[in-house]
Structure 1
């Protein structure tokens, strides 16, 4: 089998752009609506949204690769990167590294892509690794770089990347293409088209010993941000991780040829869904602000602590809702006090009650 990079038209991808034109329009419309809604958030909620979405992306882009990190530690590290007060919890090198990289991607979205930037991202991402020989540089090993599954006795090769000896030439060509395809470049491309090609192109080269998927998704985010002229905070990794089997299947098919229309459609749908999730978060925080305005001066410290904890769970809230036991666990209040507090929050329209007796659960009420 010839892989995409072994074919004579590499890396001149071909596609039917008309099939993603409607997605491009949806992206631009959604970006405008998000920007307008974002302006209605106060500074505290803007910071919360930024930290929540960056930490969620860091968590999910790692989970796609089978690395499961601690959410609270990630958020703590991201807060430190932004110079915000954080707790003194111990953060693992892996959590610190991905936090540093994600914040750097967010802050430096306007800067052209360069070898130095990519190598620095790799150093951050592989923080604490002792099992890699090439950290902060393109791979140099002589063995084939393969994506393999199955047993050692009957492996299935899903993809084989170009040999290490070609890395500098391939990456120089990739970086030149990426910068030329920016909005202010010599051959600009539309946002979704550029981001989709950038991700596929980069992971097809697979320039690093480890971390290619995570850096490839960061490059796609950078491409979108540059085309939209602002950090997007689009939850690409969150959306991919929810159905990563389809993601890997789409990549595997795209690695076999340089006609990539099917990949573009998959990626465009993924980004639109990711943008919708971000819009859900913005709407959630706007509703949060309105609810707090309505309750100002009407709730006690216990109730405020519980509402704050519920809002930390994001738009999906507590799985299964808030129980009286959870209320007691959060506040330390006696059961009778917890019952009165919860009834009061329902009466004030802060919570909705569902179920009876031991099955009673409470949910945030944004309806009033």
Structure 2
């Protein structure tokens, strides 16, 4: 059986080819959706814009970690992000190093999107991302002599999905990558269209796999930086959330691209993913608007316990509370006795704020936002940006 020749072992490595006619439609749709998203965002109040930043950055930090099998604490992470962006008062949440580190990295991607990419930038991101970890080379490219492989299956009979360049080759490979990335930026010597540049940047970087760990998360951060540079402002796009919804497909597409440098199929997948991410982002903006309308109507009708619970439910975003919301959840969040929780929940149902389904231990409550949900007028909002 012939040995697999990986993409970086081939003569056209670094000179990626693609059929632009297959990608152009995604570029046009991306541009159209970007105008729509910006149009909606500009109609938000300053507070709602800040809420949008916090929620999107928090969701992206959570999901980019979950794609790699790491699950962070949402409330702790959101507290850290608020502090990083200067958008919240100090609270009593104990922020763990993992949450603090990725919050710092996401803030740097967001605020310094327009700066050139450098080795120092990438190593700083890695140091932030690996905060609190041990037994790793942190804040520098890998140096170990063992092959860097992506494997699955039994320990004694692993399936090798990909093998990255040897550690000794990483510095020169990364020098070429960084040079390509900066040359392909708007105003660079060889500028590329947004989706082509971001899509190639991701597959190029993760194929080099320069760090011991965190390459996927940093690779998706590079995508955010690339798109932001092409847009001329932070993208605020639900990329990792979209990938996480179909994580298996993401890994299958990465694997399919590991043995060749014609990236047409990868860019088609990537273009579809970015368009879906934009649509998720627009839903998130709609959700922010809906929340604002809800609180304008009901904030004075809620006691402190009820307000705390509703804020916790809303942290879950448009998809709602996973597994449904129960009286047990209410007691856990408010630290209140059963009788108080029952009385509060009955009050919320009576006011039409919660709807109730099921009976006894199967009873679940849903926050009813339907009276405050209005479909955005896409045409008028798009025209508002012109």
String of CA shifts for 1:197-235, please: whole Å, max 9, x gaps: 000000111111221111111001111111111111211
Q: Name which of structure 1's ranges 317-326 and 186-195 shifts more when overlaid on structure 2.
A: 317-326
Answering whether residue 107 of structure 2 is matched by residue 126 of structure 1, we say: no
Give the alignment partner of residue 214 of structure 1, picking from 211, 217, 222: 217
Give the alignment partner of residue 100 of structure 1, picking from 98, 104, 107: 104
Partner of 1:90: 94
What secondary structure does 1:315 align onto? Answer: helix
Q: Where does structure 2 lack aligned partners over 5 or more consecutive residues?
A: 373-386
String of CA shifts for 1:161-205, please: whole Å, max 9, x gaps: 111222221111111110111111111111111110000000111
Contact 1:119/1:137 (<8 A) preserved = yes
TM-score if structure 2 supplies the norm length? Answer: 0.87
Over aligned residue pairs, what C-alpha RMSD do you find? Answer: 2.3
Shift of 1:354: 5.2
Shift of 1:256: 0.2
Q: Name which of structure 1's ranges 72-81 and 247-256 shifts more when overlaid on structure 2.
A: 72-81
Aligned length: 364
Cα distance in 1 for residues equivalent to 2:212 and 2:253: 22
Answering whether residue 166 of structure 2 is matched by residue 160 of structure 1, we say: no
Cα distance in 2 for residues equivalent to 1:189 and 1:26: 16
Partner of 2:58: 55
Partner of 2:378: none
Matches within 5 A, 1:152-231: 152-231=155-234
Seen in structure 2, the aligned counterparts of structure 1 residues 325 and 63 have a Cα distance that, compared at 3 Å, is closer
Contact 1:353/1:363 (<8 A) preserved = no
Shift of 1:334: 3.1
Q: Where does structure 1 lack aligned partners over 5 or more consecutive residues?
A: none
Shift of 1:90: 2.2
Partner of 2:9: 6
Cα distance in 2 for residues equivalent to 1:315 and 1:35: 20
Partner of 1:257: 260
Contact 1:324/1:338 (<8 A) preserved = no
Cα distance in 1 for residues equivalent to 2:41 and 2:285: 7
Cα distance in 1 for residues equivalent to 2:71 and 2:328: 28
Contact 1:353/1:360 (<8 A) preserved = yes
Contact 1:40/1:286 (<8 A) preserved = no
Matches within 5 A, 1:1-368: 1-83=4-86, 84-132=88-136, 134-295=137-298, 297=300, 300-301=303-304, 303-319=306-322, 321-323=324-326, 326=329, 332=336, 334=340, 337-338=343-344, 341-346=347-352, 350-352=353-355, 359=363, 361-367=365-371
Cα distance in 2 for residues equivalent to 1:9 and 1:336: 67
What secondary structure does 2:251 align onto? Answer: helix
Seen in structure 2, the aligned counterparts of structure 1 residues 289 and 223 have a Cα distance that, compared at 3 Å, is same
What secondary structure does 2:367 align onto? Answer: strand
Cα distance in 1 for residues equivalent to 2:238 and 2:327: 33
Cα distance in 1 for residues equivalent to 2:145 and 2:27: 41
Shift of 1:325: 5.8
Contact 2:299/2:307 (<8 A) preserved = no
Shift of 1:148: 1.6
Seen in structure 2, the aligned counterparts of structure 1 residues 305 and 169 have a Cα distance that, compared at 3 Å, is closer
